[in-house]
Amino acid sequence: RRDERTPVVLTDIVLSFGGVRAIDGVSLTIETGKVHGLIGPNGSGKTTTLNVISGYYAPEKGSVTLGQPLEPGAPETRAGRGIARTFQTPRIVGEASVIDNVMIGATIQGQATFMETLFSLPRHRADERRLRGAAMTALAAVGLEALADVRADRLQHSELRFVEIARALVLRPAFLMLDEPAAGLSVSEIERLAALIKGISRQGTGVLLVEHHADLIFDICDHVTVLNLGRVLAAGTPSEIRVHKEVVSAYLGG
Ligand code: ADP
């Protein structure tokens, strides 16, 4: 069994699409209990990096390790190792209730395939009760337990973002990767999101936060990696990144 503090380590990851290098030698470390921000202009390789960590893409070069190498190709295996994620566009089943969406997520993020999930509702009442309890805990963590039995398509976009985070949290992951969670949220919703992410990391989960919203990044991250054209332009603490000359001119527009 790995140490609880074992980080996810990416070393010199290279990945091309049709001969174009989307990421070109990216290295970064996601520590448990910390928030790691990943920023950069559009097309700089942020989502691709996240997809490599989640096993969706196999890198041409380099490695992803969690104590030992993580083999590419099986996102559900990653989830089994405690790496959960959200997507830029929430993947929610509108006709199902909020809590069912969170419960479905437990199996999607977990070992079962999506088809298995659809056709194998929990076989035992005890399993179902346990899963439902975990889903309620996750919904409470994001402040949406009052909406548990509401059909998901009745919710606002911002609420669905929080449902998606609950769905990722239901398996109590060691690592949580969030792909632009602040997109489309109001200022007060972003404040709620910031408090939620900080709380999640304080409980020991390592967070990778891919985000456009620079204020949110500088506010809550322990460490920031800035990508540009698929390469690491800078890495450091928020206060180091804020004043980094190339970052300011290439990305922050100062
Ligand atoms: P970001 O998340 O920073 O906006 P991406 O990781 O989405 O950047 O994209 C990095 C580069 O890789 C871009 O040039 C993009 O066009 C390209 N890219 C990403 N995904 C694919 C894909 N599936 N097929 C072809 N090119 C892709």
pLDDT by residue (tens digit) across 155-186? Answer: 999 999 999 999 999 888 999 999 999 999 99
Considering only CA atoms, which residue is closest to atom 14 of ligand 1?
43
What is the whole-number distance in angstroms between the Cα of residue 181 and the centre of ligand 1? Answer: 18
**The two structure tokens encoding residue 161:** 């973002």
Top-level class of domain 1-82+209-254 = alpha beta
Q: Which atom of ligand 1 is nearest to the CA of 44?
A: 3
Asked if 104 contacts 93 with a C-beta cutoff of 8 angstroms, the reply is yes
Asked if 221 contacts 37 with a C-beta cutoff of 8 angstroms, the reply is yes
Which pLDDT score is estimated for 131? 86
pTM: 0.91
Asked if 242 contacts 226 with a C-beta cutoff of 8 angstroms, the reply is no
What is the whole-number distance in angstroms between the Cα of residue 16 and the centre of ligand 1? Answer: 9
Asked if 214 contacts 48 with a C-beta cutoff of 8 angstroms, the reply is no
What integer best gives the mean pLDDT of the chain? 88
What average pLDDT score do residues 110-123 get? 50
**For residues 100 and 177, what is the distance between their CA atoms, to the nearest angstrom?**
22
Which residues is 231 bridged to in the sheet? 228
pLDDT band at 2 (very low <50, low <70, confident <90, very high): low
pLDDT band at 49 (very low <50, low <70, confident <90, very high): very high
Asked if 48 contacts 15 with a C-beta cutoff of 8 angstroms, the reply is yes
Any idea what DSSP says for residue 35?
E
What is the whole-number distance in angstroms between the Cα of residue 48 and the centre of ligand 1? Answer: 6
Which pLDDT score is estimated for 209? 98
Which pLDDT score is estimated for 79? 63
- Whether 19 lines ligand 1, by a CB cut-off of 6 Å, is no
Ligand 1 pocket, mutate which of 17, 38, 226 (most atoms under 8 A from CB):
17
- Whether 42 lines ligand 1, by a CB cut-off of 6 Å, is yes
Higher local confidence (pLDDT), 153 or 105? 153
What is the whole-number distance in angstroms between the Cα of residue 22 and the centre of ligand 1? Answer: 6
**For residues 198 and 248, what is the distance between their CA atoms, to the nearest angstrom?**
25
The interface predicted TM-score (ipTM) is 0.97
- Whether 188 lines ligand 1, by a CB cut-off of 6 Å, is no
What is the whole-number distance in angstroms between the Cα of residue 18 and the centre of ligand 1? Answer: 11
- Whether 44 lines ligand 1, by a CB cut-off of 6 Å, is yes
